[in-house]
Amino acid sequence: MTDLYEDLAPRRRTVVTVALLGCAFLGMLDGTVIGTALPRIVEQVGGTTSWYVWLVTAYLLTSSVSVPVYGRFSDLYGRRGLLLSGVAIFLAGSLVCGLAGSMEVLVVSRAVQGIGAGALLTLGMAVIRDLHPPHRADGLIRMQSLLAAMMIVGMIGGPLVGGLLTDHASWRWAFLVNLPIGVVAATLIALLLPDRRPPRTTGRLDVAGIALLTAGLSLVLIGLSLKGNTGRGWIDPAVLGSLLGGPALLVALVPVERRAATPVLPPGLMRRRTYAALLAGGFFFQVAALPAGVLLPLYLQQVRGYSATVSGLLLLPMLAGMTAGNRLTAAHVLRSGHTRAALLTGAALITGGTSAFAVLGPGTSPFLVGILLLAVGLGTGPAMGGLTIATQNSVPRADMGTATAGSALSKQLGGSFGLACAQSLIGAQATTQVTAAAVGSTVALTGGIAGLLAFAALLLVRETRLTAEQPAAA
């Protein structure tokens, strides 16, 4: 079958890739941009501080649970149409968010926005992989570097953009700014990206599988969000009920998928040792990394007394390490064809870097903190690019969208779980105010244990050499 992407002109390929990166950037930015705008939103729209949780959770929930559905459907029916539909849903949600006059409307529109956002990063990355397969290594290295930079800008720039727009324009522009960027990106994709579709799929839509998957993931994410964002205990009825009910539904999904003609989660994928090990590795990478990124700013501001601006500058070593680690990993993986050594090195670095925070004190040298953050960043880098490349190449080409979605979802779940664990640990040690010892021990314990588990999971990865085609068996 003719590959419609293979003969694209270089300039056209570049423009489409930039548009895809723009879509991915919007999805990442809107996960963080609302944070600094929340107080002003509640003040102007009305409601209590309990709405904070649901404004964040609504987006997290729908953007996460839609990821595997988009990934699987893109493998079955093609990516271009689904991506454009996702952009349209995202922009519609953004418009309603920007015009919302009540908290209820804002929460619902955030959920709609999240449904669209699930397509932006997942399908954007899948199409980038389609456009830049391993035999186009130099192009993919550049794309992975740009994507990593955009992830960092999304994580750090989101709160900054939200604060600037809230202070100098209106919090509504934190949502409305998506419209011109999204419209331009969607127009370029619609005009320049060929509509490449897989062979026609037969069989009924897996409605039961989609329902069980969505409900199970929703309960898990609600439980972790309640634990991480509201300070409830693990045995709180809402938290415990969600964390027991969600996995129960996911277990019930297994026999349903085995019987489905076109399952939303092909059972054969999880039987691939390398794919399953990479998903586990991505989960534990996020558990290890997130507490450092969330808690170190608290230490720098509340313990050391630095301003928000200075504390942001002191986090630059971690960001520099993430960028360098991602680029070096992508370059090594794509030029050597091997993934295992780079991923294990990353797991070792993040384990050592986070564990060393056990020595953190109120007078620890900022230089030492910077060195440790650099190590954590270098260790996180492989999870941003190399892990995704390895995951995409561990499955047949026909399942690449599903594999990409699984990688993104496992990282999202790992981040939520890591945040919930970190909140429990630091809450048990610092009941009245944040202390250096509480931050240091929390980062060291969560990062050290999760880093070791990531290392152990990656030891199970079977070394495969990357080629232009994905493997037929694992």
pLDDT in tens, 175-207: 888 899 999 999 999 999 888 777 666 567 778
* pLDDT tens per residue across span 36-72: 666 677 777 776 656 666 777 788 888 888 888 888 8
Q: What is the pLDDT of residues 399-454, one digit of tens each?
A: 877 887 888 888 888 888 888 888 788 877 766 677 888 889 999 999 999 999 99
In this model, does residue 466 exceed pLDDT 80? no
H/E element, 138 = helix 137-152
What is the average per-residue pLDDT within 268-292?
88
Give the whole-number percent of the chain exceeding pLDDT 90: 19
- Closest C-alpha to 381, from 402, 358, 350: 350
CB-based contact 320:381 (threshold 8 Å) = no
> What is the pLDDT, as a whole number, of residue 229?
67
Helix H or strand E encompassing 304: none
To which residue do tokens 């996460």 refer? 64
- Report the distance separating Cα 158 and Cα 174, nearest Å: 9
Tokens read off for 126: 């899948």
pLDDT at 349 over 70: yes
CA distance 407 to 385: 11
pLDDT at 158: 64
The pLDDT of residue 203 is 61
The answer to whether 447 and 355 have CB atoms below 8 angstroms apart is yes
- The DSSP result for 365-429, as a single string, is -HHHHHHHHHHHHHHHHHHHTHHHHHHHTTS-GGGHHHHHHHHHHHHHHHHHHHHHHHHHHHHHH
Q: What are the structure tokens assigned to 120, written together?
A: 């932006």
Task: Please check whether residue 227 is in contact with residue 420, taking contact to mean a CB–CB distance below 8 angstroms.
Answer: yes
CA 398 to CA 470: how far, in whole Å? 9
Q: Cα 270 to chain center, whole Å?
A: 20
Q: Which 3 state secondary structure label does DSSP give 203?
A: coil
Q: How high is the pLDDT of residue 8?
A: 78
Show the tokens assigned to 86: 């996702």
Decide if 82 contacts 186 (C-beta within 8 A): no
pLDDT over 60 at 2, yes or no: no
From the list 103, 24, 18, 118, the residue with the least C-alpha distance to 385 is 24
Instruction: Report the C-alpha gap between 133 and 393 in whole angstroms.
Output: 10
All residues at 6 or more sequence positions from 33 whose CB lies less than 8 Å from its CB, including other chains: 158, 159, 161, 162, 174
Q: Kindly tell me if the per-residue pLDDT of 474 is higher than 60.
A: no
And the tokens for 410? 């496992």
Nearest CA to 288 out of 435, 62, 456 is that of: 456
C-alpha torsion sign, points 25, 19, 136, 133:
positive
Higher confidence at residue 119 or residue 319? 119
Mean pLDDT over 253-279 rounds to 85
What per-residue confidence (pLDDT) applies to 425?
A: 84
Q: What is the residue-averaged pLDDT of the chain?
A: 81
Whole-angstrom distance, CA of residue 394 vs CA of residue 466: 9
257 and 263 in contact (C-beta within 8 Å)?
Answer: yes
Please tell me what DSSP assigns to residue 303: I
CB atoms within 10 A of CB 184: 12
Residue 444, both tokens: 């060291």
Strand partners, 262: 205
Residue 473: pLDDT band with limits 50, 70, 90: very low
More confident residue, 135 or 32: 32
pLDDT at 401: 79
What's the whole-number mean pLDDT along residues 356-384? 89
Residue 317 pLDDT: 87
DSSP helix/strand/coil, 471: coil
Of 2-6, 262-266, 323-327, 342-346, least confident by mean pLDDT is 2-6
Helix count and strand count (H, E) for the chain: 20, 0
Please count the CA atoms within 13 angstroms of the CA of 150 that sit on its side-chain side.
Answer: 23
Q: How far is 117 from 398, CA to CA, in rounded Å?
A: 23
Tens-place pLDDT, residues 52-61: 667 777 888 8
Distance, in Å, from the CA atom of 20 to the CA atom of 174, rounded to the nearest integer, reads: 21
CA distance 278 to 130: 20
